[in-house]
Every structure is written in C-alpha cells, then in structure tokens.
Amino acid sequence: MQSRTHHCNELRLADAGKTVTLCGWLDNERKVSKNLSFVVLRDFYGSTQFVFETEEMIEKLEGVNKESTLQITGTVRERENKNPQIETGEIEVVPTEVVVLGKCIYNALPFEIRQSKDADENFRLKYRYLDLRNPAVKDKIVLRSKIVAELRQRMIGQDFLEITTPILTCSSPEGARDYLVPSRNHPGKFYALPQAPQQFKQILMASGFDRYFQIAPCFRDEDARADRSPGEFYQLDMEMAFASQEDVFAIIEEVLPPVFEKYGVFKRASKAPFIRIPYLEALETYGTDKPDLRIDLVVQDVTELFGKTEFGPFQNSTIKAVVTDGYSATRKEIDKMCADVEVETANKAFWFRVDENGEFVGGISKFLADRKEEVIRALQLKPGDFVGVCAGDKNSAVKTAGVIRRMLGMASAGHFDKEQYTFCWIVDFPMYEIGEESGKLEFCHNPFSMPQGGMQALQEMEPLEILAYQYDLVCNGVELSSGAVRNHDPEIMVKAFELVGLGEEDVKAKFPAMYNAFCYGAPPHAGIAPGVDRMVMLLAGEDSIREVIPFPMNKQAMDIMMGAPAEVEKKQLDEVHISIKE
C-alpha cells in the first residue's frame, strides 16, 4: 500500500524528530560528494528538501531521472541553512528508505518544469501533463477551481437553482458555426453541440422555474484569439423569470465584485451600481463598445474642423482625435505606436504636439498651422499636450480612435489607473444592423431579445432606429458577457423575424420547442452569461486565455496532446452514414 504521512508543504520546525513518509516527484538533485546529496521532492502542495548523507542511500537514486515519482521515509530535523522562499524552509528530512513508485525513463525533459512557460506554446500543449507540474501553471488551474466554486456558492445564495442542460441538441443559428454530431440511428441527421444553452434556459422559464444557473459548456467552431479559446468554453449561465434588465444587473453587481476582490491580482473592483453607457455613446466617446474605463481619455470628433485642411487623408472622411497631457514619448516611440495602431486596425494614425510656446510641432502640424487658434479652442489644448488623430469611413475612424485612446492611455502618466477591475454596462444596443457581407437587414446581436417599445416599435419605427433590451458586461476593456431581456411574446417574436425576411413558419421551424412553449403562456424573463474563462484570465492577470484552461486547444483548434481532430476508421464512418469527400 502506498501511503504518506504528510504532503510536501506540510512539515514545520515543530515536526523535528518525527519519522515521516512523503511522496512526490524528483524535482532536483544536487550531489556534493559521494556521501552527501541534496534532493528536493515536489508534490501538488509544495516541496521539501531531503539530505542524503551516506553513500548507501545516495546509490538508491542511481539511475533515477528527474520527474520520477518517489516515496521517501526519513527523520525531520532543523535545517542549518534555512530557506525563507519556501514554506518548509526551516526543516529538512534525512531519509532512511527510498522507493521508486514511477520511473521517468527519459534522461532529458522537453523543458525544465519550472521554466515551462518560457517554452514554445505548442510544445507546452503537447506535453501539457509536464507543463501542469510547473507550480506557476498549476496555480492558475487551482485558482480557476476556487473561482468556479465561489461563483456557484454565490449564485445558490441568491436562490438560483443549478440545472444542467443537454449537450446533444439541434443546430440553431446562434451566430457562430456549429459542431455537428452524426446520428447512427437516424441516417442523414445530425445533432449539434450547443453554442449556448439559450433556448433551454428560456424554455425552463416557460416551464415554471424561477431562477436558473449553471457553469455551462459551450461549443463554437470559431477561430482563436488571446481572449477566446476555440472549440469549447464555459460560462456562468443564468436566467430569471418575471425579471427586468434591472434585476439582472442587481444580481451580477452583487455576485461578481466580491469574487474579483477576493481572487484577483488587483484588489479593487467597481461597486454597485456599475456605470451604464449607451452603445452609440460608447463608440463616440471611447471608440469601442468594450471601453477600458481605467483610462480617463476620451475620443473627440474633429471632422468639421480638420476636414477643412489640405491634408489628403482628411478629405471626405470622419476624423477623430484623442488628447493627452502625459505622453512624453520620443519620435521613435511615437512612430512605433502609430505602426502598432496600423497593424491592429489596418488604418493609419497621425499626430502632433503643442510645444512649450504653444506652437504645433511634429506629425501633421504643418497642415493645421493656419487654423491653430481654432484647433486650440476646440480641443482645449495647452503646452505639452499630444494629439493622436485618425481618419476614414465612420466605422474605421471609430475603431482606430479606440485603439489610439487605449495605447495613449496606457502610455500616458496619470491617465491609467491600472490596478483595479472597472466594470460597466453597455446598454441600448440596436436591434438590427445592415450585414457587412449580405448588405441586408440582420439582427445586431441576440435574435431572442425584446425590442424597446415592443410591437409598436416594430410596426412604426425604422428598423435601424429600434433599440433592444440588450446589454454587455465589460471589465477592463474585455467583454465578459452579453445578455438581454428576452422576447417572450410569440406575436412580437414573429414580427421581429419578419423584418429580417423570416416568416412565422420559419420561426416555428427553426425554434419549434421555444415558440410552442411561449404559446402556452411564458413569463417575462431576462438573463446573462459571463464567460468563466475570461473572468479567470482577468483575475489571474494573464494575457492568454489558454493559461487558465487545463487542456486548451492551440490557435488552430487542435489538441496536439491527444491528437485531435483525427481521422477515424471507415467502419466508424459507415456506422454513422458518413463518407469523406476528397
């Protein structure tokens, strides 16, 4: 029977004189002589030093490679050269017995365990079981577990009932590509993995459940980003019956800030109520619908003023400007910022300064010289100010200005209060938009949202002017979630879909269960689903979401540790009535 009396982060000076048995991985061995060797054993909890003081005991580790698992019995004693860097640094163990439990057969590791984060990412993912042995990597997964447990506890404390919804369901137009699962018993038909439990949670509301939540797995066949993992992700999915937008906001503002303050690398978080910013105002003021409110700079529209100049890119363009008084960059640093803006937005950034004499210098200053006083008044400029400028069609100019604001804010003294979690709600999203690819009227976000003004708005207003009860939760420039008050009225739902060219029969065909459930009397309901992976990423202070997922896919949506996706045998394809088209 394998056993241990203590784990590797447990022994203290008070344990001196005890006979103990520890188990773990051989983290390091430093041989001083043939009868003196220092060995560090590491387990999930921490590490302990052993001192081998006889040739006989040292020989027991002969040929045993690092990362082999060992069971060592010995006597605890006070350490002469104490190590304050580790919890067990005041003691060491003199071994009397060593048993190799699991031998590492390789002399060389793919990377040093404690330096695994410096290795190539694909290499780390291929040997993820070694990467996870690194305490710095493991701790992020432990943090994730604690955060999920805390979220679950707080939701239950708000009288929400945890209910799991199906993984195998039908394909539904949620905005991303589905993962399809062929049916063996129903040739030519497919299940789909849920992009979100959207319809199920709304049906639960129609079924009489009052408050639902789950830590829900979601599956979307989309490309990876730093803040988005391809394939699958998890969200804190919730829905409330007889609820308004205000009810959802109150729950989130009660649940999230304490979790962020308790587990985050920053110990400050927004208190209720969070700032609310209408969608169009966010674009005009911050250049994005995901503003980082730790930055206090704003975007200003200078189209009328700057459009009068002879500078070519400003002609017939929307022009935006961002002013800061704390950016003392060199010309080289300014050029790099402008280049970075262009890489991110595919649009150029321009600039000028106000020198100590109040003159415009650098960048596009010469094009503004003849209207200097007008520009100073409009932008309220003073000596030392730096102005970032961009131009283009409206969407391009807004996006570029948002990136300039972010980059200038982070680089300007006194304009970026970094060490906090600043939440805001983006509200009043348009119900409809013109699709970039189709050129036709489409839903802007969730098609199941209630239009502001209900049926009357759908019948009397221009579609592009209709707003929806939709909202995004944003923290430090990261969108954590979208949510909405749902459209629970079948007649309003049919009318909403009619405007995008889908009739009643289309609605019944695409969403039969939910539509029929609503026809039996559905309560007004609303919900939201903050992304768990993104929350943990923010709390852990990581830039990549893959650092907080135990077994993430790489950027190409491949699990290179398990070898997925992979080919399967023809027999398996035949069973599900699938043939491969070359």
Average pLDDT of the residues in 9-30: 97
For 526-562, the DSSP string reads EEE--BHHHHHHHHHT-S-GGGGSSS---TTS-BTTT
Helices (H) and strands (E) in the chain, counts: 17, 22
The answer to whether position 433 is within a domain reads no
The answer to whether position 94 is within a domain reads yes
Average pLDDT of the residues in 370-385: 95
Average pLDDT of the residues in 234-254: 98
pLDDT digits (tens, 9 = 90+) for 558-576: 999 999 999 999 999 999 9
pLDDT surpassing 80 at residue 274: yes
Domain extent, residue 362, equals 295-411
The answer to whether position 140 is within a domain reads no
For residue 137, what are its two tokens?
């990597």
Average pLDDT of the residues in 485-503: 94
The answer to whether position 39 is within a domain reads yes
The answer to whether position 335 is within a domain reads yes
The answer to whether position 546 is within a domain reads no
The answer to whether position 136 is within a domain reads no
What pLDDT, on a 0 to 100 scale, did the predictor assign at position 229?
80
Structural domain count, the chain: 2
The answer to whether position 348 is within a domain reads yes
What are residue 348's phi and psi, to 5 degrees?
Answer: -80, 150
Average pLDDT of the residues in 112-140: 96
- Which amino acid, one-letter code, is at 182? P
Average pLDDT of the residues in 304-320: 93
For 178-213, the DSSP string reads PPEEE-SSSTT-EEE--S-SHHHHHHHHHTT--EEE
The domain that contains 394 carries what CATH number? 3.30.1360.30
What pLDDT, on a 0 to 100 scale, did the predictor assign at position 446?
82
Q: Tell me the C-alpha distance between 545 and 228, whole Å.
A: 6
What pLDDT, on a 0 to 100 scale, did the predictor assign at position 175?
67
- Which of residues 373, 388, 411 is at a domain's end? 411
For residue 238, what are its two tokens?
């919730």
- Which of residues 373, 396, 411 is at a domain's end? 411
How far out from the chain centre does Cα 271 lie? 21
For residue 230, what are its two tokens?
């391809």
What pLDDT, on a 0 to 100 scale, did the predictor assign at position 436?
81
Tell me the average pLDDT of the chain.
Answer: 95
**What's the predicted TM-score (pTM) here?**
0.92
What pLDDT, on a 0 to 100 scale, did the predictor assign at position 174?
60
Average pLDDT of the residues in 335-361: 96
Average pLDDT of the residues in 507-513: 89
What pLDDT, on a 0 to 100 scale, did the predictor assign at position 273?
97
Distances (CA, A) of 489 to 376, 505, 523: 54, 16, 9
Average pLDDT of the residues in 199-213: 97
pLDDT digits (tens, 9 = 90+) for 76-92: 999 999 999 999 999 99
pLDDT digits (tens, 9 = 90+) for 439-480: 899 998 888 899 999 999 999 999 999 999 999 999 999 999
- Which of residues 83, 102, 121 is at a domain's end? 102
The domain that contains 27 carries what CATH number? 2.40.50.140
